[in-house]
Amino acid sequence: MLKPFFSFLRGILGSFKVRSTEYLEFELRELENIFAILLMGSFVGIPSPPTPVVLRVMPYMAREMAVMSRRVEMADDVFGEIAGLLDVG
């Protein structure tokens, strides 16, 4: 009898947790994307740090590169992502 109730509560709490960090996660994704773009910017003509700085950090940038490529895939629907985040529509 109590088991489904606690499971329901856990679900609600989990949902709160996810909702409460949604904005933070969006901000984090953006920062990671900016970090990667700053380092890889020379590909698209953005002023970049001196090459040795980029080369030193590149081997550890797997996640940022992945975030950046996902971000590129979503680039044509930025408003869609923000609308989802703000629960619009």
Residue 64: exposed, middle, or buried by beta-carbon count in 10 A (0-12, 13-18, 19+)? buried
Q: Does 77 bind another protein (CB under 8 A)?
A: no
Residue from 46, 66, 74, 83 binding another protein (CB under 8 A): 66
Residue from 21, 83, 84, 85 binding another protein (CB under 8 A): 21
Q: Which residues of 53-63 are buried (b: 16+ CB within 10 A; e: fewer)?
A: ebeeeeeebee
Site of interaction with another protein (CB under 8 A): 17-18, 20-21, 24-25, 27-28, 31-32, 34-35, 38-39, 42, 49-53, 55-66, 69
